[in-house]
Structure 1
Amino acid sequence: MTDSHTPTTPDVLSPAQLGPITLRNRIIKAATWEGMAPKGLVSQELIDYHLAPTQGGIGMTTVAYLAVAPEGRTEKNQIHWRPEALPGLRQLTESIHKTGAKVSAQIGHAGPVSDPSSTKYPALAPSFSMNMLGLRPNRVATKDDITRITRQHAEAAKMARDVGFDAVEIHLGHNYFASSFLSPGINRRKDEYGGSLANRAKVARGVMEAVSEAVGGEVAILAKLNMEDGAKSGIQVDESLQTALWLEQDGTLDALELTAGSSLLNPLYLFKGGAPVREFAKNQHNPLLNLGLRMVGRFFMREYEYEPLYFMETAKQFRRELKLPMVLLGGVTDRDGMDTAMEEGYDFVAMGRALLREPDLIQKIAANPATASQCIHCNRCMPTIYKGTYCPEIPGIKAPRPALPLSVI
């Protein structure tokens, strides 16, 4: 499924081929958890959330964190693939298509990032570890768990195809299930899934192979892969690059989106900018987590200075070695940054916070290439995910009202 990369510099606002689909431009809304799926079902608020940037001109939006299993959710009000969720997801894809944009489903399993106190299911990890969200031990994943979760990724991809998604993005980052197996600090197994990188990469490669066999050629297949975890014990760039090369050789991808950081070990390594510890603590349902974050949150949520295209230099190592089409994520906010990404050989750019601040930013940039984003990278949008993601910097905005599933509207 891999395509040779072309050295010519494309216009970021021009149509582009992504596997079997064509996007109207090369700008993708990155997956950012919306917090708008009460009882794990689509709400009108969730549809409106994705309509805003697609009406604002992006080529494709990504619906975040659609778990392949109940225990694969990060928290209870998160969509997981099952028959009850399909009608709402179909309504979502049909609504997005009316705008002329494409829509991708981010599919994954949270693994040790799950909060068992919320989901009421044990969180799964490669090796014994404590779950700091649920304040209880994670359950060590068995070989049967790995086989089941691999199969469930394929089944989820088929359901995504059947309800109208144009693409699937498989989550191999942030120390979710597949990423936790890649991380040598989290994966201390002694069996065929631990030890060498070749062993630790078996889950990620197996998941991608299963998804490719299930829907390859019918929808575009992307993977979101950590370049590094942002922790000494985590995966580093050299091992991640080798994993990416194996994925390319396997031929299971239409594009690779690079990310970094660990939801377990160093969450703000992904975002850069402000560290809203107080706001995160306030939004924790567990009083012990609230207290813990207030006391030691500054050590866990380390602050990193924001700069445009902050993953570019690291990602260049992957661009030089890979022929796969690639999506550049991280600090893409204006036309200059988009053009730089294209010049450096990236095929698409992904945007998150800037589109939350201004859903119509792409229309503004198309009309005036000198348009500057109004996002200040304060990250105060991040703690809002628990009750419905929004940008607190928008003048006059109030927290959205609690969403209702479409089935009861």
Structure 2
Amino acid sequence: MTEQNREVFAPARLGPITLRNRVIKAATFEGRTPRALVTDELIAFHREMAAGGVAMTTVAYCAVAPGGRTDRHQIWMRPEAVAGLRRLTDAVHAAGAAANAQIGHAGPVANAASNRAPALAPSRLFSPLGMRPMHVPDEAAVAEVITQHADAARLAEQAGFDAVEIHFGHSYLVSSFLSPLLNRRKDRYGGSLANRARLAREIARAVRDAVGDRLAVTAKLNMEDGFRGGLTVPESLRVAAWLEADGTLDALELTAGSSLLNPMLYFHGDAPRREFAKTLPVPARWGMRAVGRFFLREYPYHEAYLLDRARQFRRELSMPLILLGGITNRDTMNRAMAEGFDFVAMGRALLREPDLVNRIQADAATPSACVHCNLCMPTIYTGTRCVYRLDPVAPGS
């Protein structure tokens, strides 16, 4: 389909699967897995998104190992999780949408104290979450992480998922390996950009080999980290070109920012520092109050706020690209299609109005009620929700 006749609400191919339209529910950690397993509340959350009109909803997030979670309450991919995940994918399919599993390892963003397992980092770093040094994996341990991604993808297939999204962004493990500031290794996974990109490419290859052409395989890639010494757009463009040449991915979802050092870059809008601090244990709460304005920076919201960066990737790449960030209305969706993007991903706007996609399809002038306050951010561990929505899906207990 050419750029001129790409229609956001027409069926579209994503690798081996056909989606009913080009709108994807982006990964937003749901906070509904208190025992690291699927709950009825998690199923209801994604069933509602599917019934609301998205083509595919993304379960976030399915860690590849228990130490790869940002918190011990997150799902990690193991045989015990498959039955619950199958119930979830069945519910999503019954509502007419595809199901996507976001898999990955949180790396430096993992909470070692909560997980009771060491956080991993490419080089020696101190964890502000676990309040202890992070573990630096040797090449054998890196190989194990690669295998864990492949195993997680196989389990996702067993659970009935149509796609997997590999997390290469936000200073999670693969993203931290890409970052020149965080990765100071001297082996073949550090130094040059080609070496720093090796882990991303090997994981993508392992996942593709694990699921073949039976599932769509995408990756969420940082266009830039948003901190001094981090990954830059020119470097990320080269990484994306290598991933395209490898032929392991069906699409890239383009993002930016760092859960470790600059999370507001991928959110934009208000920075809920006080509300976020209240969710933290006392020592971290004091730290947030002291340095919150540097950690949660202000980036004014505007529609399609990552588009300027993403255009550079669209010019250089031929593979399908998913535009993320500030997609809340039909005009923005149409703009993305006109500029050659294959899909758009929506997050916060759907937390307030899960049926927004259906209503936009019925009436192109439908506005979003999201005010970009980001007060949903502090709810992520108690059931991610819009605080202004009157009838949210209840979180787990």
- TM bucket (normalised to shorter chain) is over 0.9
- Checking the alignment, whether the CA contact within 8 Å between 1:279 and 1:380 is kept in structure 2 is yes
- Checking the alignment, whether the CA contact within 8 Å between 1:216 and 1:252 is kept in structure 2 is no
Quote the offset at 1:341 in angstroms.
0.1
Counterparts of residues 392-407 of structure 1 (less than 5 Å): 392-394=387-389, 396=390, 400=394, 403=396
Structure 2 vs 1, CA of residues 398 and 205 (structure 1 numbering), >3 Å: closer, same or farther?
A: closer
* Match 1:179 to one of 175, 178, 195: 175
* Match 2:19 to one of 17, 23, 33: 23
Paired letter, 2:67: E
Matched, 1:373 2:368: yes
* Match 1:357 to one of 352, 355, 362: 352
Paired letter, 1:273: G
State how far apart, in whole Å, the 1-side matches of 2:144 and 2:317 are.
30
The aligned residue for residue 223 of structure 1 is: 219
CA RMSD of aligned residues (A): 1.1
- Checking the alignment, whether the CA contact within 8 Å between 1:328 and 1:346 is kept in structure 2 is yes
- Checking the alignment, whether the CA contact within 8 Å between 2:44 and 2:393 is kept in structure 1 is no
Matched, 1:294 2:295: no
- Checking the alignment, whether the CA contact within 8 Å between 1:182 and 1:200 is kept in structure 2 is yes
Identity %: 58
Corresponding pairs, count = 397
Structure 2 vs 1, CA of residues 397 and 97 (structure 1 numbering), >3 Å: closer, same or farther?
A: closer
Quote the offset at 1:292 in angstroms.
1.1
With structure 1 as the length reference, what TM-score do the two structures score? 0.95
- Checking the alignment, whether the CA contact within 8 Å between 2:23 and 2:346 is kept in structure 1 is yes
State how far apart, in whole Å, the 1-side matches of 2:282 and 2:393 are.
22
Gaps of 5+ in 1: 405-409
The superposition leaves residues 212-271 of structure 1 with CA deviations (integer Å, 9 ceiling, x where unpaired) of 111121000000000000112110000000000000000001111000000111011100
Quote the offset at 1:7 in angstroms.
3.4
Counterparts of residues 94-173 of structure 1 (less than 5 Å): 94-173=90-169
Quote the offset at 1:398 in angstroms.
7.4
Q: Does the residue aligned with 1:265 lie in a helix, a strand or coil? A: coil
State how far apart, in whole Å, the 1-side matches of 2:201 and 2:393 are.
40
Q: Does the residue aligned with 1:139 lie in a helix, a strand or coil? A: coil
Q: Does the residue aligned with 1:164 lie in a helix, a strand or coil? A: coil
Quote the offset at 1:145 in angstroms.
1.3
* Match 2:88 to one of 89, 92, 97: 92
- Checking the alignment, whether the CA contact within 8 Å between 2:45 and 2:393 is kept in structure 1 is no
Matched, 1:345 2:340: yes
State how far apart, in whole Å, the 2-side matches of 1:103 and 1:366 are.
21
State how far apart, in whole Å, the 1-side matches of 2:361 and 2:249 are.
30
- Checking the alignment, whether the CA contact within 8 Å between 2:125 and 2:133 is kept in structure 1 is yes
* Match 1:234 to one of 227, 230, 236: 230
Counterparts of residues 308-347 of structure 1 (less than 5 Å): 308-347=303-342
Matched, 1:68 2:78: no
Paired letter, 1:340: R
State how far apart, in whole Å, the 2-side matches of 1:6 and 1:181 are.
36
- Checking the alignment, whether the CA contact within 8 Å between 1:9 and 1:345 is kept in structure 2 is no
Gaps of 5+ in 2: none
Q: Does the residue aligned with 2:252 lie in a helix, a strand or coil? A: strand
Quote the offset at 1:386 in angstroms.
1.0
Paired letter, 2:277: A
Paired letter, 2:221: L
Quote the offset at 1:295 in angstroms.
2.1
Matched, 1:80 2:76: yes
Matched, 1:56 2:52: yes
The superposition leaves residues 349-398 of structure 1 with CA deviations (integer Å, 9 ceiling, x where unpaired) of 0000011110000111111100110000000001100111110012x457
State how far apart, in whole Å, the 2-side matches of 1:191 and 1:11 are.
47
